[in-house]
Amino acid sequence: MTKWYEPGAAGYDEQRALFNAMIDRRPRVIAACAGPADVREALEHAIREGLAVAVRSGGHSVAGQSTNDDGLVVDVRPIKGVEIDVVARRARVGSGCTWGEFDAVAQEHGLATTGGRVSTTGVAGLTLGGGSGWLERKYGLSCDNLLAVEMVTADGREIRADETQHQDLLWASKGGGGNFGVVTALEFRLHPVGPAILGGLMAWPLAQGVEVARAYRDWADDAPDELGSGLVVISGPPEEFIPPYLQGEPLIAIAVCWTGDRVAGEDLVQVMRDLSPAVDLVGPMPYAQLQSMIDDPPGLRQYWSADYHDTFPDAAVGVFLDAGAGRPSPLTQHLLLPWGGAVARVEPDSTPLTQRGARWVSHPFATWEDAADDDANIAWVRDYRRANAPFTTGGVYLNFIGDEGDERIKAAFGADKYERLVAIKSEYDPGNVFSGNQNIRPRTTV
């Protein structure tokens, strides 16, 4: 049964709060939906009242696209449940689940699929936008493992899209975002992972950044698909595992997720270990624990962006490190992630995403506390992208960015795939009811 929250009602402010504290919007009504019938009721109400619609699950959209002002928010968080078919290695997941909830159930059987690197991210939003995670070089993006979606369309139809029906809608859901309906369930292919893997963090003072970053680039670029990893500039947190002299200081760090043979993984990690990290936390650990290793609490201010790279030469490493040293906020994470492997091996037309052969993704991830620092942190991201531009391909992964305009949306898909998405949007949502997203406009919209 739908629960309705309006301004002034108990629980309204809690329901409207998002991960990014910069977003402070006040929907006219929030409809907390427990199933497809509730979603249909909410959409009928929105259309009847002429309200703009946003769809909210994990609430991690950095641009705040999971809410609106004076409209209706379809909140699918009550649609929970994870069902695992161990024999078929399939999972059916309610669209209100987070990756932490999904992983916890799948890991009871030593199974997983590629999921977000932050456990509180919603399964639906991440997958519909593509789905980058630690397992991607071995098993592809989340969307590459998507077997079916169930959704309610703008006209109230309950549709299942899979390999036998509405195949166009399934294709569009593999990276085309929440443009086509409200997803209520997703089905995934699962893989044997863990429960224990070789993972964790190594870190060095940023003064060693050039040596570490170049070594990491060459190491990760040539690594087997079983290695998921990332390079990041961070500030040493005030934790016991960080030596006191590095707490609060800029660090260059690598994250490791190795899902292959343990001995082979230890041999591979030794290459980076030979650089004598000041912090070495890489060892056997639960996969689910690794999935929450870089979780940030809600309530901080966020501004992100991203770009693709075919190569990451020494000059690009220098730009990356200079920006890392100049972060205005110690909470900011400045990331470089290797693609390749299974990400690049998919058939080019199997998903809407283009430039799947990109080797690297740079991801300036600004995080801070005080609204007075907004301009400085937003400028830092934009300044890095300008300095980084000579080394980029023009492509982008939309889940890593905010609202950066139509041209960036088109760059994520390329001209031909974008036009195919427009045709599918025109069929399933001709009135553009679902516009609160990285929007693909139907042809019928003026």
Residue 417: HSE in the Cβ half-sphere, 13 Å Cα cutoff = 20
| Token representation of residue 235 | 């500030």
Residue 160: alpha-carbon gap to chain centroid: 24
Whether the CB-CB separation of 48 and 4 falls below 8 Å is answered with no
Question: Angle 405-411-413 (CA atoms, 0-180°, nearest 5)?
Answer: 115
State pLDDT tens for residues 305-341: 999 999 999 999 999 999 999 999 999 999 999 999 9
State pLDDT tens for residues 419-430: 999 999 999 999
Give the separation between CA 312 and CA 336, rounded to whole angstroms.
10
Q: What is the pLDDT of residue 293?
A: 85
pLDDT band at 295 (very low <50, low <70, confident <90, very high): confident
Residue 42: alpha-carbon gap to chain centroid: 26
Give the separation between CA 290 and CA 281, rounded to whole angstroms.
11
Q: What is the pLDDT of residue 446?
A: 46
Residue 404 has pLDDT above 80, yes or no: yes
Residue 96 has pLDDT above 60, yes or no: yes
| Token representation of residue 250 | 């800029």
Q: What is the pLDDT of residue 63?
A: 84
Nearest residue to 167 (alpha-carbon basis) of 346, 342, 350? 350
Task: Tally Cβ neighbours within 10 Å of residue 386.
Answer: 10
pTM recorded for the entire structure: 0.95
Give the separation between CA 271 and CA 277, rounded to whole angstroms.
11
Residues in Cβ contact with 401 at an 8 Å cutoff, skipping those fewer than 6 apart = 62, 63, 304, 305, 306, 408
Task: Classify residue 298 as exposed, middle or buried by CB count within 10 Å of its CB (0-12, 13-18, 19+).
Answer: middle
State pLDDT tens for residues 5-55: 999 999 999 999 999 999 999 999 999 999 999 999 999 999 999 999 999
Residue 117 has pLDDT above 50, yes or no: yes
Question: Taking the CA atoms of the chain, what radius of gyration do you get in angstroms?
Answer: 21
Residue 150 has pLDDT above 60, yes or no: yes
pLDDT band at 62 (very low <50, low <70, confident <90, very high): confident
Give me the domains of the chain, ranges plus CATH numbers.
3-75 (3.30.43.10), 82-192 (3.30.465.10), 196-400 (3.40.462.20)
Q: What is the pLDDT of residue 1?
A: 86
State pLDDT tens for residues 193-249: 999 999 999 999 999 999 999 999 999 999 999 999 999 999 999 999 999 999 999
Residue 445 has pLDDT above 70, yes or no: no
Give the separation between CA 398 and CA 378, rounded to whole angstroms.
18
Give the separation between CA 367 and CA 301, rounded to whole angstroms.
6
Instruction: Give the chain's mean pLDDT.
Output: 96
Q: What is the pLDDT of residue 294?
A: 80
pLDDT band at 296 (very low <50, low <70, confident <90, very high): confident
What is the rounded average pLDDT of the residues 148-171?
Answer: 98
Give the separation between CA 31 and CA 279, rounded to whole angstroms.
46
